[in-house]
Structure 1
Amino acid sequence: MRILFVCTGNTCRSPLAEGLLRIRVHKEGLAAEVRSAGVSAVTGGPISRNSALILKEAGFEEQMSSLSIQESEVKWADLILTMTVGHKRSVIQRFPDAVDKTFTLKEYVEDDPLILQAIEEREQLVTELQLKQALAQTISVEERSRIFKLENTIPDYDISDPFGGSMNIYRQTAEEIGNSLDKLIEKMRRQQGGSS
């Protein structure tokens, strides 16, 4: 499996996710390649000092540099995991063919059946309403109300941006990412036939 993590500048969150997942994948003996990129990144720039320090503390020794998301990375990836809903939207707008393999990290590892059902229902409703809009049909108050209720059922899937923050803020973000990566590893284990 080839996984691409995406954030804004590819200097804080997505490099953390890439490095921390590479460590876990290696430790678990899972088959996966991991990269990261940014929707507004400058290719070849350094990652943030705090992200690099956290990765080094975790045992990740490789040097990383930022990468601007390109079609080649999108085609390479089997799965694109973004740090926020905004990043997901940006990837899908730029690379519409990637819609079926692009998720926020937290959304992809969500395991609450009620939330998963609400997400599916919302996706269907959004598609229906977009079609109605395209056909210049009126969207009813009930439909607007239904989508609002669904939105309130679904948690916030954005991972906080530590950019410009203290080392403590970076550690909180790394922990937030790490919790989702633990769930991702579980999911990968199941997909790869329970190997550990």
Structure 2
Amino acid sequence: MSARRSFVFGFPCDLRLPDREFSGCSIIDSISGTRQFYGTRSASIPVPLSCQSIRKALSAISPCGGRAAHWRGTTAPTPGEPVPLDPSDQAAADPFATARPFTILAVCTGNICRSPAVERLLVAALDPDSGVRVTSAGVRAVVGAPMPAPMAALVRAAGADPDGFAARQLTEPMLRDADLVLALTKWHRAQIVSLYPGAVRRTFTVRELARLVSSVDPASLPDAGAGARLAALLPLAAAQRGVRRVAAGDDDVVDPYGRSDETYQRSFDELAPAVAEIVRVVRG
């Protein structure tokens, strides 16, 4: 490692160069105009800096994988002026800078009965331009399967469209991309968090979330689209967790798959009011 006092734009600085980093790169040739200095530990040589050498260095970085090419031809910002971001970094710096919708992911076991019903009821209740995207998946999905006829009939009778549905297997990227995950039972919630622990604070059972938001005054949420209101609602709901006890099973929706029409009706009667309560608060 070597160091040398130099000056950049009139200000003193110490330039420290690692011995082996960027071995084989042409940056040093561009700065020094001489042979390549890297490749052996004994070859570390300090490099003087100047405005011209900096410009040459920036031109040389891009073949080595840098982003200097993006800024060629631009004017350097004046002191105190914010430096513009590369467009590929802008979304990471400000997640609200893009038109990305607020994504809700409903999750049950097979993704053929309960979570599809939640998905289609939410889609029907929220305006197409609400800024909300709703999908569903299963922890043990019957991949590609449609909604069973009894559940499809109940969804249709409620004014939603069950047609064209196909079950999907839950994956970690789905959970990573979701802003809100609605599980149908506490067991599903545990499976979700096990698969992707980062989703813990934004994962609720659908009945749990309905119970938690029931005390929220819709007027306290932003006067904006459903996506912005949901984003504001989640921290309020999370803060209510554990405030009051609920009986075991109260937050679960019964699985009707392969059972009687009465069980399908019971399952729908457990999930539909919860969806309606969430929509009521979001729509104001």
Q: TM-score, normalised by structure 2?
A: 0.50
Q: What residue is the counterpart of 2:187 in the other structure?
A: 86
Q: What percentage of residue pairs aligned between the two structures are identical?
A: 31
Q: What residue is the counterpart of 1:2 in the other structure?
A: 103
- For the pair shown, the structure with the greater C-alpha radius of gyration is 2
Instruction: Find the residue that maps to 2:135 and give its secondary structure.
Output: strand
Matched, 1:38 2:132: no
Structure 1 residues 1-196: aligned runs within 5 Å: 1-26=102-127, 30-57=130-157, 58-60=159-161, 62-111=163-212, 119-120=241-242, 153-155=245-247, 156-189=250-283, 194=284
CA distance in 2, matches of 1:31, 1:175: 27
Please say if residues 105 and 182 of structure 2, whose CA atoms lie closer than 8 Å, have aligned partners that are also in contact: yes
Q: CA deviation at 1:92?
A: 0.1
CA distance in 1, matches of 2:207, 2:160: 24
Q: CA deviation at 1:61?
A: 5.1
79 and 63 in structure 1: CA distance in 2 versus 1, 3 angstrom threshold: same
Counterpart residue type for residue 211 of structure 2: E
CA distance in 1, matches of 2:106, 2:240: 25
Q: Which has the higher contact order (CA 8 A, sep 6+)?
A: 1
Which structure is higher in helix share? 1
Q: What residue is the counterpart of 1:139 in the other structure?
A: none
CA distance in 2, matches of 1:6, 1:177: 12
Q: Mind listing any 5+ residue stretches in structure 2 that lack a counterpart?
A: 1-101, 216-237
Instruction: Find the residue that maps to 2:182 and give its secondary structure.
Output: strand
Instruction: Find the residue that maps to 1:110 and give its secondary structure.
Output: helix
Please say if residues 109 and 184 of structure 1, whose CA atoms lie closer than 8 Å, have aligned partners that are also in contact: yes
RMSD over aligned Cα atoms: 2.3
163 and 72 in structure 1: CA distance in 2 versus 1, 3 angstrom threshold: same
Deviation readout 1:135-188 (Å, 9 max, x if unpaired): xxxxxxxxxxxxxxx7xx313210111112222321221122110011110232
Q: TM-score, normalised by structure 1?
A: 0.71
